[in-house]
Homo-oligomer: A and B are copies of this chain.
């Protein structure tokens, strides 16, 4: 898949990690920092290093602890220090080997070290493969909120090795499927139907997701308008994640709930049919994702979080709704009452 952006287009390659060297044409002795986490590095670090050493690059590695709580400016600062101490120049390279946390953080460091150093992403979770590997969003968290600091910065290459999913916990695989299903809902009715037949993860499925996202991002790199449709399910999803302090749901699980809520709201304002609402819920269930909230949520807290969310423009919450499967509608006239109802729907059906 080729992602065409004005002055920084790049390719998404489907191949094995140990084949990466084939796609690199940096001169010998180029310094490469692999940023990963201990678990992923144990699984794939050596084959990546072998591939890079074959080309006589100088390979460095730095593992960061797993988890969003380490995706901070503090960790970024440690990486800056490492790069400076090892005299990385703008012509050197960073490789992000891991999931979203590693990718977001590495991308942010790459975008800001010496005002930008080249970086490559090797996403090893389904979520990262179909979502964060396309679009150039990099970020770190702030104590007051997730992903509030970041930059739009594109990698020079994304390598997707589907076999890395074999070692991914089942729960994370399901979480990734939430974003896969999202692509069908917002943009491709036929793809949605195919997913209803089978949720088996093939290179074709991954490429399709990347392709849909790439087309949207190409038209709207800096998230002015169209790109907003990618946030389908994320407005309420994010709020549920934040309300539970990111301890309870995986991102994809919260998005699954958010998609059901957004579909429910769509139905209530007369957009999508109840039949399609039920099809969406059924597919989410098939992916072994949660379809209901099983704890006592605090609506006022959720509302507050939504009001602080960066997708809000001048006080009005902007919702991505759907007219039918494959077709989105942007609305900013949704009442708080309806948001409340959608949460009640998630809780009690």
Contact = CB atoms under 8 A, between A and B. Distances in A.
Contacts of A168: none
Nearest to A74: B73
A110 B150 CA distance: 10
Contact of A314 (B6, B91, B143): B91
A16 interface: no
Nearest to A139: B115
A306 to B, nearest CB: 12
Interface string A107-149: 0000111111000000000000000000001110011110011
Interface in A84-125: 84-85, 87, 89-91, 111-116
A7 interface: yes
A151 B112 contact: yes
A73 B91 CA distance: 24
A312 interface: yes
Q: How often does this chain occur in the complex, in copies?
A: 2
Contact of A29 (B113, B115, B307, B314): B314
Nearest to A84: B144
A112 B115 CA distance: 12
A152 to B, nearest CB: 5
Contact of A6 (B6, B112, B113): B6
Contact of A115 (B7, B113, B142, B152): B152
Interchain residue pairs A-B with the least CB separation, the first 9: A84-B144, A115-B150, A114-B310, A112-B149, A115-B152, A80-B142, A91-B313, A115-B151, A112-B151
21 contacts: A27-B314, A80-B142, A80-B148, A80-B149, A81-B142, A81-B144, A84-B308, A87-B307, A89-B310, A89-B313, A89-B314, A90-B313, A91-B314, A111-B151, A112-B149, A113-B148, A114-B150, A115-B138, A115-B151, A116-B151, A116-B152
